[in-house]
Amino acid sequence: MAKLIILTVLLAISSTYAFWSPCPGILAPTFIESDVCYGTACRVEMGQNITAEVGMRFTQVHNRLDNRATVFLFGIGINLPQDPPNDDLCNHLYLNDVLVGCPTVPGVDYIWRIRMTVPSNIPRFNNARVRFEGLENGVSQICSDIIGTVI
């Protein structure tokens, strides 16, 4: 019986963020939730409005965090366009439901609120790895990989 309880707890913990994983060696979000992500993947349609919330607890001050999204198809990374205001994470950083932006404060729990329309000029793909990064001066400061499909 104890083994069954342990297995159930481990499965519950591992499925908590089954559709995303941290990038090796880079600060990871504390959580990711979205109306288009469930189980082990995220699925969107061209032109669809999506929302997501990403928890972040930075370890240092950041004055600007450029948003980069890259889909990996057949091992080749293709950067997805990030138009203003979505090109800067700071435009969407909240603290206690108040838009605070940057500079960030180390150790504080922020929420990055994403509200956007899936562009029609991106490639369609099925169960591909999509990397989302916040970069400062071209260096990744926070990163997660998501398994996604665009139809």
Contacts of 71 (CB under 8 A, 6+ apart): 77, 78, 80, 122, 123, 125, 128, 129, 130, 148
Please list the alpha-helical segments (H only) found in 1-151: 2-15
DSSP single-letter state for residue 119: P
CATH topology of domain 19-150: Immunoglobulin-like (2.60.40)
Q: In angstroms, rounded to a whole number, what is the distance separating the alpha carbons of residues 111 and 29?
A: 10
Compute the chain's Rg from CA coordinates.
Answer: 16
Q: Is the dihedral of CA 73, 78, 81, 87 positive or negative?
A: positive
Whether residue 115 is predicted with pLDDT greater than 90 in this model: the reply is: no
Residue located via tokens 């932006």:
101
Q: What are 69-100's pLDDT values in tens digits? A: 998 998 899 888 777 888 899 999 999 999 99
Whether residue 10 is predicted with pLDDT greater than 70 in this model: the reply is: no
Residue located via tokens 């169960």:
127
**Of 115, 118, 121, which Cα lies nearest the Cα of 48?**
118
Q: In angstroms, rounded to a whole number, what is the distance separating the alpha carbons of residues 31 and 20?
A: 9
Q: What are 67-77's pLDDT values in tens digits? A: 999 989 988 99
Whether residue 16 is predicted with pLDDT greater than 70 in this model: the reply is: no
Report the predicted TM-score, pTM, of the whole model to 2 decimal places: 0.82
pLDDT at residue 11, as a whole number: 33
- Domain extents in the chain: 19-150
Residue located via tokens 């990064």:
133
- Amino acid identity, residue 86? N
Q: Which two tokens stand for residue 19?
A: 């559709």
